[in-house]
Structure 1
Amino acid sequence: MKLTVWGAAQQVTGSMHLLQTQNYTILIDCGLDYEKGTFQDENLNFPFNPEDIDVVILTHAHIDHSGNLPTLIRMGYKGQILCTAPTAELAEILMLDSVNLFLNKQNKKHKWQKHKSTPKPLYLQKHVIDTTERFVTLNFNKPFKINAHIELTFIPVGHLLGAAAVSLKITEDGVEKKIAFTGDIGRKNYPVLNDPQPLPQVDYLICEATYGGRLHSANDTLDHKLTEVIKETCIKNPGRLIIPAFSIGRTQSLIFKLNQIFSKGLLPRVKVFVDSPLAHLATDIYRKYADMTSEEARAFYKENGDNYDFENLTFLYTQKESLSAINYLDPCIIISSAGMLEGGRIQDHLYYNIQNYYCTILFIGYCAKGTLGDRLLRGDPIVRLRGRDLMVYAGIQKTDLLSGHADHDGLMEVIRNQKSLKRLFFVHGDLSSINALEKSATDEGYTVSIPKRGECFEL
């Protein structure tokens, strides 16, 4: 059996792992790679023949894990895509949104840079439809026979609705080998989601490393942090709180937490705008699969009727409605995407508020190096928006209390649960994060490999 890591090797995005047995080839995840300068080339040119893949297994819907599936199918893949039911529905709306982003970028370049060549979109809506027709959904913790020699089980890991670790039992020459891919591991006590379940015992573990070397805040609670920021920005002062948030997962957890805060009477019901059509679609999916959410979320639903709706909450759909939030003069909270500020309606809100002393921008997630969000977090006094250099007068705050990833200790807990691991592989993290985890794991006696892109391992 051979493992080749073709994505998220010593970086965070582009998860894609090829597992080859004697007569069967499995691709685990097929995500978009956002970390190379040649975005088009990195995602269009697969390092293998898509027609040679027998089955694809998808851990969860986030675009760095699912986003290049339509390209894979466009290039000749003809098999099934195995995932959970929420993952299938969330991945569909995310991939369709990617089509819109590709086309918007193309139209903007065509409008302003007609003299330059414009790369074609990676895929179109018809390719997304072709992809969704390949989804075969499986339940958590129910072994599924892919063929006579390969058994798959999805293990719930939090992080996102429907997110799963992949556990495989593979028999070759009468010998059973067990291998698991964590996908992205969630953290405990996360709003709406269940805690990650322990993985079964395996011989080989491919583990994410996003928060290696970092610990989540332990001296504060999300309720307290949100309450204090809202009180300071919107109640003591007549300001507005802008929260950049990924439309799927982060936004639903944030809405639920605000619902709890207002329901408890901890704060007056400040006006809340959710400016993201994608978030509205995702929220309906979260409602549909309410039985797969946490005990806390289910109990709140029984008492209040809807986890994602409350007085003074408004979802905005059209650009005209979005403009109404920009022109809203009273104190308010605006939740909008994208979380790293690289495109999306959030840029409109930034453009009109970055120089507003009464505005606070609260970051609730990771911002990759070089993104607009990263530049604001590191304290750049001037940022460029819509061709203008704007002074940063708005307050900038951050919290990791809504981070959807397990921290260093959480990842080590997953690893320590493995009692007879032959080899541990770290992926989906920058090299500093991976090195921090490697040190902890090797100190505890684990054999660790840090794959480079395209590196092949005999298992």
Structure 2
Amino acid sequence: MNLTIWGAAKQVTGSMHLLEVGDYSILVDCGLDYERDTFQEENQYFPFNPASIDVVILTHAHIDHSGNLPTLLRMGFNGQILCTPPTADLTELLLMDSVNIFLSKQQKRSRGKRSGSGPKPLYLHKHVMDTVERFITIGFHKIFQIRQGISLQFIPVGHLLGAAAVVLEIEEQGVTKKIAFTGDVGRRNYPVLVDPQPLPAVDYLVTESTYGGRIHSKDTTITAKLKDIIEETCIKFPGRLIIPAFSIGRTQALVFTLNKLFSSGELPPVKIFVDSPLAEFATDVYRKHHQLLNDEAQDFYHRSGDEFEFDSLSYVQDKRESISISNYHEPCIIISSAGMLEGGRIQDHLYHNIQNYYCTILFIGYCAKGTLGHRLLRGDSIVRLRHRDLSVYATIKKTDLLSGHGDHDDLMSNIVGQDPNQLKKVFLVHGEDSSLSSLASAIEAAGYTAVIAEKGEPYIL
């Protein structure tokens, strides 16, 4: 069989891995590549014929893993999409949101131009619904026979509700081989989510490398960190704390943490706005699949009720209500998407607060190169919003304590638990150059063979 990495090779976004077993083609993930300025136009071109793909396996719902599925269908794919039940629900929400973002960008680019000018959306709501109809959901740890000689098992990896490593057992010419794709690996003791579970013994492993060479902060907890920042921003001074957060995953973890913090009485009440309709819909999915949340969340629910509701918290749906937050003059916390600041209501809040000395912008997740979030984190003193260059007077802070990705040690734990006599190669994807190199060196030092995957290069397994 042949493995070809077509996305997230020597970069983080755009995961797309093609596994060919004889004349049968399996695509693991089909994500949007966000690391190009013209990503919308370039994502419509596939390096293979979409009609030649027999089945897609989706590790989790995040758009850099799922976001190009409707394009794949629009270009000829006609097979099933296999994933866990929460992944199916969350992916539908994210894909619908993508359409809205495409249409919004098209409208903005077309203003002042002739009708019909500007790039067309990658796909429309109809294509998303066509995609949703292709989902076949499979629970964790269940053996699913894809076809004769190929079986699938999903292993929980944390990171996001429903996220799974893909383990394929393939019989080819009388020889059985196992290959695992980690998707995105979560971290232990993360709010709401279960810990990543060990992978079975495999012959080949394709692993993400986002935090290769980096160790997450361990000198404090996310609750203590948030308490300090809230006290400094909203209690000692009448300021506002803006937290860019992905609507799905990061927001639920953050809301639960704030619920614990304010419910304990450690801080006086502070108004909290979750300004993302998508986040509210996603939270309903978390409630629907409540049995998959971790023990801490389950215990909190039995003691105190809904993990995602409390007195000072408001979910903002209406655009008018979102705009009115600018006129709220009391200290407050605003949680809004998108996490990398590329579109969404967060840009409205930035526009009104980026020059506010009493504002703190707290990043709680990864920002890809080229994004507005990345520019703020690297210290740009001027950023462009709404066609205006604005000086950055707000305080910019960052914490990795709510990062949904496992660090170097978490990634290595998936590898060192493998039999070095059985595991032939570890392919590294979904990471920047420094992370890939650091993880590769550690893997080699542990006695395994590491390959930093090259985009488009076929590997014979």
Query: Displacement of 1:91 after TM fit?
Result: 0.2
Please, which of 422, 443, 446 is the counterpart of residue 445 of structure 2?
A: 443
- Kept in 1, the 8 Å contact 2:41–2:119? The answer is no
1:114-193 correspondence runs (5 A):
114=114, 117-193=117-193
Structure 2: which 5+ residue stretches go unaligned?
none
Map Cα deviations across residues 69-124 of structure 1 (whole Å, 9 max, x no partner).
Answer: 00111111111100000000000010000001111000001114449941111111
Which amino acid is 2:109 matched to? Answer: K
Query: Displacement of 1:41 after TM fit?
Result: 4.3
SS of 1:178's partner is strand
SS of 2:362's partner is strand
Query: Displacement of 1:434 after TM fit?
Result: 0.5
Task: Measure, in 1, the Cα distance between the counterparts of 2:72 and 2:449.
Answer: 33
* Residue of structure 2 equivalent to 1:421: 423
Task: Measure, in 1, the Cα distance between the counterparts of 2:36 and 2:360.
Answer: 31
TM-score normalised according to structure 1 size: 0.98
SS of 2:158's partner is coil
1:21-170 correspondence runs (5 A):
21-114=21-114, 117-170=117-170
* Residue of structure 1 equivalent to 2:303: 303
SS of 1:390's partner is strand
* Residue of structure 2 equivalent to 1:228: 228
1:223-302 correspondence runs (5 A):
223-302=223-302
Query: Displacement of 1:260 after TM fit?
Result: 0.3
Task: Measure, in 2, the Cα distance between the counterparts of 1:119 and 1:356.
Answer: 35
Map Cα deviations across residues 37-66 of structure 1 (whole Å, 9 max, x no partner).
Answer: 442443111111111111110000000000
Task: Measure, in 2, the Cα distance between the counterparts of 1:102 and 1:112.
Answer: 18
Which amino acid is 2:73 matched to? Answer: I
Task: Measure, in 2, the Cα distance between the counterparts of 1:153 and 1:384.
Answer: 46
Task: Measure, in 2, the Cα distance between the counterparts of 1:53 and 1:357.
Answer: 53
Query: Displacement of 1:142 after TM fit?
Result: 0.8
Which amino acid is 1:131 matched to? Answer: T
Q: Structure 2 vs 1, CA of residues 135 and 386 (structure 1 numbering), >3 Å: closer, same or farther?
A: same
Which amino acid is 1:457 matched to? Answer: Y
1:359-438 correspondence runs (5 A):
359-419=359-419, 420-438=422-440
- Kept in 1, the 8 Å contact 2:35–2:369? The answer is no
SS of 1:457's partner is strand
Task: Measure, in 1, the Cα distance between the counterparts of 2:243 and 2:173.
Answer: 55
Q: Which moved more, 1:365-374 or 1:141-150?
A: 365-374
Which amino acid is 2:425 matched to? Answer: R
Task: Measure, in 1, the Cα distance between the counterparts of 2:332 and 2:435.
Answer: 37
Structure 1: which 5+ residue stretches go unaligned?
none
SS of 2:111's partner is helix
- Kept in 1, the 8 Å contact 2:275–2:337? The answer is yes
Task: Measure, in 2, the Cα distance between the counterparts of 1:112 and 1:188.
Answer: 51
TM-score normalised according to structure 2 size: 0.98
Q: Which moved more, 1:341-350 or 1:377-386?
A: 377-386
Query: Displacement of 1:401 after TM fit?
Result: 0.2
Please, which of 445, 451, 454 is the counterpart of residue 452 of structure 1?
A: 454
Task: Measure, in 1, the Cα distance between the counterparts of 2:118 and 2:238.
Answer: 44
Task: Measure, in 2, the Cα distance between the counterparts of 1:346 and 1:266.
Answer: 28
Q: Structure 2 vs 1, CA of residues 214 and 392 (structure 1 numbering), >3 Å: closer, same or farther?
A: same
Query: Displacement of 1:23 after TM fit?
Result: 3.2
Q: Which moved more, 1:107-116 or 1:427-436?
A: 107-116
Which amino acid is 1:146 matched to? Answer: I
Which amino acid is 1:74 matched to? Answer: R
Q: Which moved more, 1:51-60 or 1:40-49?
A: 40-49
Map Cα deviations across residues 386-431 of structure 1 (whole Å, 9 max, x no partner).
Answer: 2222222211111000000011111011111111211110001111
Which amino acid is 2:437 matched to? Answer: N
Q: Structure 2 vs 1, CA of residues 301 and 56 (structure 1 numbering), >3 Å: closer, same or farther?
A: same
SS of 1:44's partner is coil
- Kept in 1, the 8 Å contact 2:14–2:64? The answer is yes
SS of 2:262's partner is helix
Question: Matched residue pairs, number?
Answer: 459
Query: Displacement of 1:22 after TM fit?
Result: 1.7
Map Cα deviations across residues 173-199 of structure 1 (whole Å, 9 max, x no partner).
Answer: 111000000000001110000000000
Which amino acid is 2:367 matched to? Answer: C
* Residue of structure 1 equivalent to 2:194: 194
Which amino acid is 2:218 matched to? Answer: A
Which amino acid is 2:172 matched to? Answer: E
Task: Measure, in 2, the Cα distance between the counterparts of 1:344 and 1:252.
Answer: 17
Task: Measure, in 2, the Cα distance between the counterparts of 1:381 and 1:413.
Answer: 40
* Residue of structure 1 equivalent to 2:214: 214
Query: Displacement of 1:341 after TM fit?
Result: 1.3
Task: Measure, in 1, the Cα distance between the counterparts of 2:114 and 2:347.
Answer: 24
Please tell me the root mean square deviation across aligned C-alpha atoms, in Å: 1.2
Identity %: 66
Map Cα deviations across residues 302-329 of structure 1 (whole Å, 9 max, x no partner).
Answer: 1122010000110111210101211101
Which amino acid is 2:98 matched to? Answer: S
Task: Measure, in 2, the Cα distance between the counterparts of 1:431 and 1:112.
Answer: 41
- Kept in 1, the 8 Å contact 2:32–2:66? The answer is yes
Query: Displacement of 1:230 after TM fit?
Result: 0.5
Task: Measure, in 2, the Cα distance between the counterparts of 1:301 and 1:285.
Answer: 16
Map Cα deviations across residues 239-268 of structure 1 (whole Å, 9 max, x no partner).
Answer: 111101011000000000000001111111
